[in-house]
A and B are shown apart, each in its own frame.
Chain A
Amino acid sequence: MSSRRVLAGLIVSLLAAGCVAHPVGPARSVESYERKANTTAESALSAVETVRLLAGAGADGNALRSYLSVAVSEQEDALGGVRGTFMSIQPPEGVPSAVLRDELSTILTSAFDHVGDVRIEIRRGHVAELDTVAAPLSLDAAELRDLIEELS
């Protein structure tokens, strides 16, 4: 194999390995696990706050139903994705990591369920009541913010 091909292969491998935004795998230290938890919480907070804004816009009669339906579904998928990614990470041994895993998992599951409730109500055509349906998301957002603060 020529040196050019080896170099090209190396570059492609580096790019493929280096550009993965959220690698799944064992966290080798508590600090590394906390960083992954922090990233997960930030992504989840973004999804939760997006749905809260969408729900508010829907309740105020400011948004098309089709737009709300697709946009909330996207955030539900995103939330499911970050939850799945985080839960698949092997935490390091020790109580703090286990506690952190349980805490974040509980918040993510709760947020995922509440976003699902919003999506269901939109598809049922109950857009005017979205404010009420989305109300529990404010607590999820507050808990995520507290956790991010704790981890920073």
Chain B
Amino acid sequence: MKRVLGIFLGILTAIGGFVDMGDLVANAAVGARFDMNLAWVVVVGVVGIVVYAEMSGRVAAICGRPVFDLVRERLGPRFGLANLVASFAINLLTLTAEIAGVAIALSLVSSVNYLLLVPFVMVLVWLVVWRLSFAMMERIFGLLGLCLLVFVVTVWRIGPDWSQLWSDASSPVIPSDENVFSYAYYAIALFGAAMTPYEVFFFSSGAVEDGWTVKDLNENRANVFIGFPLGGLLSLAIMACAFLVLAPADIGVDTLSQVALPVTVTVGKLGLAIALIGIFAATFGAALETSLSAGYTVAQYLGWPWGKRLRPVEASRFHVVILMALVVALLIAISGVDPVKVTEYSIVLSAAALPLTYFPILVIANDPAYMGDEHTNGRIFNMIASVYLVILVVVSIVTIPLMIITRAGS
């Protein structure tokens, strides 16, 4: 039982990382617009995040310190500061989108305007961060997030021609009414969404919160190899639902309510209710991850006491940073800015900053001074990680030009 409960850190991280507000809309939008022609990006993203999350979890288990804590020490304060500024800004945008996403999910069951619910959500997130233990938090929201499996059930209930679906997904082409730039832009958006930096900050900090040691390396692998592929499966299921139900009706996805529409049409009221619980849990889980990541990154860079394993009075500055991040996110969210646009921009901007996060992980995971000779990366693992680092650099270079050329994918 303890082993089963142990993988909820990975499940929560993956569900928050793969099917948060931005991903829910992005996956459905891509499925409705590009059919299954971008499904391969999700697979590439899953492999990438598995490789780097495994490294960050291993580093945390061996050193007893999370990745961000080690970045400044290993690569110097300047690199650490650049990493901190970029990741904190992107994190803040993502937090804004998640809080709005939770409010929208609640509005879909209450009919109350989501802007009125945003302050309530912000207080709720803060209360959970303040009061609930880390283990309880990851179990509750990891478990509730599994409600999103209703999208897998929906695909199965639709009963598509599986060989045709596989053929569409495995032989990608650029649709005739799209150009190579918009195709590449959405590919990068999906890849950026899969490898969002806060996932590894949260995952490695969570490993320290959970008290992982060398003995827990198998738990790390179980988390990574079960949690993240599960997140990828949910992404693909959401994409397939949109492809099968929305694309034939010429529907483009711009809102969270449209994401749940295939489930509503196919599974009915119960399915819709389960989907809404899943969407609530995924966005709420992501709001917890991003708010905690805000505190983790700042506190770890500045060497302050941090974490939920400490009493709030012992990590007061860590909690103040979280509270301030939540207040700023609240102010942005209630300004009426479109939360879907905010999250789209946060995904794409995070793609531009990916090497800043992942390069230090690769360096530290190869440093025997931190890892000891027996726990550094193996040759094949390093080869895969290096290929991904090259991809990350290319992605970070082309992201902003593509954003301008395609007018943010429009």
Contact = CB atoms under 8 A, between A and B. Distances in A.
Contacts of A53: 245, 249, 251, 261, 265
A62 B111 contact: no
A50 B261 contact: yes
A84 B196 CA distance: 36
A26 B62 CA distance: 62
A145 B250 contact: yes
B153 to A, nearest CB: 15
Contacts, number: 88
Nearest to B273: A64
Contact of B407 (A21, A54, A71, A145): A21
Interface stretch (B158-166, B252-260, B281-289): B252-260
B249 A71 contact: no
Contacts of B273: 64
Interface stretch (B102-110, B140-148, B221-229): B102-110
A11 B397 CA distance: 14
Interface residues of A, number: 33
B264 A50 contact: no
B81 interface: no
Interface stretch (A12-20, A89-97, A102-110): A12-20
Contact of B111 (A21, A43, A54, A66): A66
A37 B107 CA distance: 33
Interface string A56-73: 110011111111011100
A64 B252 CA distance: 22
A53 B273 CA distance: 17
The main secondary structure of chain B at its interface with chain A is helix
Contact of A21 (B249, B255, B258, B410): B410
A131 interface: no
B309 interface: no
B265 A56 contact: yes
A63 B269 contact: yes
Contact of B264 (A11, A45, A46, A62): A62
A19 B403 contact: yes
A74 interface: yes
B326 interface: no
Contacts of A65: 111
B408 interface: yes
B250 A57 contact: no
Contacts of A54: 261, 264
Contact of B265 (A11, A57, A145): A57
A42 B273 CA distance: 30
A67 B265 contact: no
Contact of A70 (B257, B261, B265, B405): B257
Given A62-B264, A63-B264, A145-B250, A15 B400 contact: yes
Nearest to B341: A21
A69 B111 contact: yes
Interface centre among B251, B264, B276, B410 (most CB of A within 10 A): B264
B175 interface: no
Interface string A13-55: 0110011111000000000000000000011011001101110
Contact of A71 (B258, B269, B408, B410): B258
B319 to A, nearest CB: 33
Interface of B: 107-111, 245, 249-252, 254-255, 257-258, 260-261, 264-265, 268-269, 272-273, 276, 400, 403-405, 407-408, 410
21 contacts: A18-B405, A19-B404, A21-B408, A21-B410, A46-B252, A46-B254, A52-B249, A53-B245, A53-B265, A56-B265, A62-B265, A64-B109, A64-B272, A67-B260, A67-B264, A67-B272, A67-B276, A69-B111, A70-B108, A74-B255, A78-B254
Given A14-B404, A21-B410, A53-B245, 9 more contacts: A11-B400, A21-B408, A54-B261, A57-B261, A62-B264, A62-B269, A67-B109, A69-B111, A70-B107
